[in-house]
Structure 1
Amino acid sequence: MRSVKKSELITVAGVLLILIIGISLAYQYTQPPKKLKIYNPADLNPALVDISKRDVTQMHRIADFALTNQNGSIISQKNFEGKIYVADFFFTTCQSICPIMTGQMSQIYDQFKENSDVMLLSHTVMPEVDSVPVLAKYAQKHKADALKWMFVTGDKKQLYELARKSYFAVLSEGTGDEHDFIHTENFILIDKEKRIRGFYDGTSEEDVDRLIEEIEILLAEYDE
């Protein structure tokens, strides 16, 4: 019986390897592209959702708003038409989670700096402290272009209602009065239709890496 030569074994192994790679690539290309979930109030932890919205199963959108950015300009949903954006809530004098969150937002800013379809929106939770000049100085410190990354202030009740009833960013209940205060590490990914597509821990490098990946996935959805 003829013995199998080493060169023949190498050839067979090479053919098998090519077949395996080919099958793997074919599988990848035949799979539908990954799409992100669209979140509605009924999908979320009820503790995050205002009681008036807990049974909403579809068509949730971020409510319109009128806020003031670091340049003193009034901004609204019109500024975000046709844009994907990441929203968060912070205050400039925070010494705990906010510096970490702002650092992570800076990473997202740098990653998508050249992509005009991606924006960032940071809402102050202390509008009585974070005036336009204060926000302008803070934005300058973090080298944020206001056309790309907006730091906004405005009526406290409106800011807090957005956090609780639109973005579902906080667990606590309240009315946005002078005694109310919210503090959250959540980043929220919003698509071009004002829908929520993801929640992320803004103090977690792993979660922010996932957010960056999912922004890419969301961008790809609009390229199909």
Structure 2
Amino acid sequence: MKISSIFILSISSLFILACNSEPRKLPILGSREPVEKTVDGKTVVDTIYQTIPAFSFMNQDSAIINNDSLKNSIYVADFFFTSCPSICPIMSKNLLTVYEKYKGNPEVRFLSHTIDPKYDTIPVLKKYADKLGVKGTQWSFLLGSKDSVYLLAKNGYMSYSKENDSIPGGYEHSGYFLLVDKDKRIRGAYDGTDKDQVAQMSKDMDVLLSEYHPK
């Protein structure tokens, strides 16, 4: 039987594409700076990416959470307050579905930073976590000084938080979830009130994890 040359070319093309295909990688967000360095006697240009600054906050179980606590994990960060009458309950409900998916996975963490430290004491954060059904340190509801949290939101997560007495709840903040890799670089930003974007974040988390476990 004579095999068509077009068929052979098509199969060959598919084989080449399969061999050359690479796993999808998430972009690195934030500012970046080109720097020159010497490698094997040659000058090459490398890129320094924005990373999350060092921080140290206390969670709902009075445990200290800092950069070292997260060195072997990717994580999702957001900003909220427990008495929020608008987007926070929606965000927490949506993030809970992602938490349930990765529950027990030591490579995945969740950080929710309160922007109302005066009201959101450790017992209040603990009650909030218990009501959601969150146990342990995989999802930490973090308490820090207002200045340190607001500065971290602005300089670390490209986010914002501020007091605003003209709106219900008295605080204004970003409704985004920020996906951070093990090198403390932001790899994705998702509207925490949008179920489709949260679902995409969940898929992207699988993609990010695969970077650390190549097949």
Of residues 109-118 and 162-171 in structure 1, the stretch that sits farther from structure 2 once superposed is 162-171
Does 1:220 find its partner at 2:210?
yes
Q: 1:72 aligns with which of 48, 52, 62?
A: 62
Structure 2 CA distance for partners of 1:172 and 1:20, relative to 1, 3 Å: farther
By how many angstroms is 1:26 displaced? Answer: 7.2
Does 1:88 find its partner at 2:78?
yes
Corresponding position of 1:31? 21
Q: For 1:191-206, list aligned pairs within 5 A.
A: 191-206=181-196
Q: 2:122 aligns with which of 125, 128, 132?
A: 132
Q: Could you state the TM-score of these two structures normalised by the residue count of structure 2?
A: 0.79
Corresponding position of 1:163? 153
Structure 2 CA distance for partners of 1:33 and 1:124, relative to 1, 3 Å: same
By how many angstroms is 1:166 displaced? Answer: 0.3
The structure with the larger Rg is 1
Q: Secondary structure at the match of 2:94?
A: helix
After superposition, give the CA deviation of every residue in 1:145-203 in whole Å (9 maximum; x if it has no partner): 23210001111100000100000113879xxxxxx944111100000011110110000
Cα distance in 2 for partners of 1:204, 1:121 equals 19
Tell me the C-alpha RMSD between the 2 structures: 2.7
Corresponding position of 1:122? 112
Structure 2 CA distance for partners of 1:41 and 1:217, relative to 1, 3 Å: same
Cα distance in 2 for partners of 1:114, 1:172 equals 34
Matched letter for residue 41 of structure 1: S
Cα distance in 1 for partners of 2:116, 2:12 equals 57
CA contact (8 A) 2:161 2:171 kept: no
State the identity %. 39
Cα distance in 1 for partners of 2:162, 2:112 equals 19
Corresponding position of 1:13? none
By how many angstroms is 1:25 displaced? Answer: 8.1
Contiguous gaps of at least 5 residues in structure 2: 1-6, 34-46, 164-169
Of residues 97-106 and 107-116 in structure 1, the stretch that sits farther from structure 2 once superposed is 107-116
Structure 2 CA distance for partners of 1:26 and 1:98, relative to 1, 3 Å: farther
Q: For 1:36-115, list aligned pairs within 5 A.
A: 36-41=26-31, 58-115=48-105
Q: Secondary structure at the match of 2:72?
A: coil
Q: Secondary structure at the match of 1:223?
A: coil
By how many angstroms is 1:78 displaced? Answer: 1.2
Cα distance in 2 for partners of 1:106, 1:200 equals 15
By how many angstroms is 1:42 displaced? Answer: 5.8
CA contact (8 A) 2:73 2:108 kept: yes
CA contact (8 A) 1:69 1:75 kept: yes
Name the structure where helix makes up a greater proportion of residues.
1
Cα distance in 2 for partners of 1:209, 1:24 equals 31
Corresponding position of 1:142? 132
Cα distance in 2 for partners of 1:112, 1:203 equals 20
Q: How many residues align?
A: 190
Corresponding position of 1:184? 174
Structure 2 CA distance for partners of 1:25 and 1:145, relative to 1, 3 Å: farther
